[in-house]
Amino acid sequence: MVVGVHRPTQLVIDRAALRHNIHAEVERLDEGCELFMVVKANGYGHGAIQVAQAAKDAGATGFCVAILDEALELRAAGFNEPILVLGVTSPADAPLMAAERISTTVAATDWLSDAQAYLALAEPTAEPLHVHLGLDTGMGRIGFRTVDELATAIDFLGQHKSTLDFEGIFTHFSTADSPDDHYFKQQVAKWHTLTDNLPHRPRYVHVSNSATSLWHAACNDNMVRFGVSGYGLNPSGTAIEVPYALQPALSLTSELVFTKKIAAGDSVGYGATYTADQAEWVGTVPIGYADGYERRLQGFHVLVDGQACEIIGRVCMDQLMVRLPHDYSRGTTVTLVGQDHGAEITLQDVADYCGTIHYEIACGFTGRLPRRYLN
C-alpha cells in the first residue's frame, strides 16, 4: 500500500512511552522471569520493528508474533532474540522455522509427525525446531485439551529430540482482564490438571498475557507475553485500575485542508445525514475509513486548538468534516487521538464510541498512514 507522506495525516509513536511501559513491567517480575514483547499485527499498529527495538532496550528478552511472516520480518531486521509464533503454522514450514531459529506453537500431535517428516527430508539445521505446546484450558481456540493428548505429544517429542526441541508450554486466559475471576480460576485449575505431572519442565512455561501479569502475577511462572499494556493501554478498558501509570504511545494527527461557512439548511456528507440548523463553519480533514478511521465515528469529535469539534456527516473513505467554532486557517492541527492544549482523546474514547475495544482501533490503522517516531 502507498504511504501517504504527501498528506498531513500521521500516526505519531512515542518510543519513550513504549520503553516506560515495558521497563515498568520488567521491574515488577520475579527474578528469573522473562518478558517477551508481543509485536504481532505490526506491533498493534505501532510498527513491529520500532516496537521490538524499544522493547529490547527496555529489557524484553524475546518476542511473540501471530504468523510466521511476522517472525521472518524481525529476523530480516537483525533481531536474534527468541521469537515465538503464537498461531498455527504449516508443518511444511518446519525446516524454515528451524533454520531461522523461530519457535512454533503446536496444538496437535499429528502436526508434530507431519513436521518431523518434512524435517527428515530437509537439510539438517544447526538447531532443532523449537516447539511450544499450546494448551486449551478454556479459551476454546487452539491447543491440547486432555492429559492423554498432551502425554502423547511429549512422548513424540522425546523420541525425536535431534529435530524437535520441547522448548515451551503455555496457555492463554480469556478473562484475566475481568473483575470477575470465577472463569479465570477454572482455567488455572485446568492448567494445573494438564501440567502438574509433566515428566520435565521445558525452558519456558508461560500463561501470562498483559492482564494476567498485571492482576494475577502469581501465575507468571518464568515468562510473560506482554502485549497491549506495553503500548500504554489498559487491557480491561476501564474495568480494573492498572498497578502503575501507563503512557499511551500512539497519537493520530492531521490538519485542516479546507474551511467554509455554510448556511442554515445546507447538508454535509454522503446521504445528507447532517443538515445545519444555523450558519456555521465547517472544516475538512484528510483522513477516512480507508485509513482505519471508522465510518461509524460520525457524531464523535476531534480536537482543534484544544476544543472538541464534532464530526458532522458520514466519515468518507479519505476525508471527514467537522463543525468549527469559528474559521481557522488552512494547516491548523487536528488531533484525532492524543493531547491538544490540555484536552485529550484516547484510543479508549474512540473505542467506546464505536462500541469496541482499543485493540481493534489501534490494529485497524492502515499502512497508508505514515508512522513518525519520537524519542
Per-residue model confidence as pLDDT tens digits over 204-261: 999 999 999 999 999 999 999 999 999 999 999 999 999 999 999 999 999 999 999 9
- pLDDT > 70 fraction of the chain, expressed in percent and rounded: 100
102 within some domain:
yes
Taking Cα atoms as reference points, which of 78, 68, 73 lies closest to residue 98?
A: 68
Residues 255 and 204 in one domain: no
Q: Contact 239/179 with Cβ under 8 angstroms?
A: yes
As a whole number of angstroms, the distance between CA 38 and CA 103 comes to 14
Residues 297 and 156 in one domain: no
Q: Which three cell numbers stand for residue 238?
A: 476501564
- Mean pLDDT value across residues 38-64: 98
- State the residue range of the domain holding 307: 250-374
As a whole number of angstroms, the distance between CA 131 and CA 227 comes to 21
Cell numbers 524481525 label which residue?
74
**3-class DSSP assignment, residue 220:** coil
Residues 62 and 174 in one domain: yes
Annotated binding site for substrate: 141, 317
236 within some domain:
no
As a whole number of angstroms, the distance between CA 231 and CA 251 comes to 11
Residues 225 and 259 in one domain: no
Q: Is the pLDDT confidence value at 1 over 90?
A: no
Q: Which are the catalytic amino acids?
A: 40, 270
Q: Of the residues 186, 202, 231, which one is the last residue of a structural domain?
A: 231
- Mean pLDDT value across residues 180-186: 95
Q: Which three cell numbers stand for residue 103?
A: 519457535
- Mean pLDDT value across residues 323-334: 97
Number of domains in the chain: 2
138 within some domain:
yes
Q: Which three cell numbers stand for residue 223?
A: 515468562
As a whole number of angstroms, the distance between CA 228 and CA 245 comes to 14
Q: Is the pLDDT confidence value at 295 over 90?
A: yes
**3-class DSSP assignment, residue 245:** coil
Per-residue confidence (pLDDT) for residue 70, from 0 to 100? 98
Q: Of the residues 198, 231, 264, which one is the last residue of a structural domain?
A: 231
Q: Of the residues 231, 262, 282, which one is the last residue of a structural domain?
A: 231
Q: What is the CATH number of the domain that holds 317?
A: 2.40.37.10
- The whole-model pTM stands at 0.95
* pLDDT confidence band for 335 (50 / 70 / 90): very high
Residues in contact with 245: Cβ distance below 8 Å, sequence separation at least 6, in sequence order: none
120 within some domain:
yes
Residues 77 and 218 in one domain: yes
Taking Cα atoms as reference points, which of 242, 130, 136, 251 lies closest to residue 186?
A: 136
321 within some domain:
yes
How many angstroms separate the Cα of 273 from the Cα of each of 26, 65, 175, 241, 261?
A: 50, 42, 39, 39, 18
Annotated binding site: 141, 317
Q: How many CB atoms lie within 10 A of CB 76?
A: 10
Per-residue confidence (pLDDT) for residue 83, from 0 to 100? 98
Per-residue confidence (pLDDT) for residue 172, from 0 to 100? 97
Residues 105 and 173 in one domain: yes
Residues 109 and 254 in one domain: no
DSSP strand pairing (274-275 vs 267-268): antiparallel
User: Residue 208 carries which DSSP code?
Assistant: B
Residues 182 and 283 in one domain: no
204 within some domain:
yes
Residues 214 and 262 in one domain: no
As a whole number of angstroms, the distance between CA 27 and CA 204 comes to 19
240 within some domain:
no
Q: Which three cell numbers stand for residue 254?
A: 492531521
Per-residue confidence (pLDDT) for residue 290, from 0 to 100? 98
Residues 66 and 207 in one domain: yes
Residues 168 and 225 in one domain: yes
Query: Rounded to the nearest 10 degrees, how much is the dihedral formed by the CA atoms of 153, 156, 161, 167?
Result: 0
- pLDDT > 90 fraction of the chain, expressed in percent and rounded: 98
E strand residue ranges, the chain: 10-14, 34-38, 62-65, 83-88, 102-106, 129-135, 164-171, 204-206, 223-226, 250-255, 258-262, 267-268, 274-275, 280-285, 301-304, 307-312, 320-324, 333-340, 343-345, 371-374
User: Residue 130 carries which DSSP code?
Assistant: E
Q: What is the CATH number of the domain that holds 126?
A: 3.20.20.10
Residues 112 and 185 in one domain: yes
Q: How many CB atoms lie within 10 A of CB 347?
A: 23
Cell numbers 497519537 label which residue?
251
Taking only the tens place, the pLDDT of each residue in 55-92 is: 999 999 999 999 999 999 999 999 999 999 999 999 99
354 within some domain:
yes
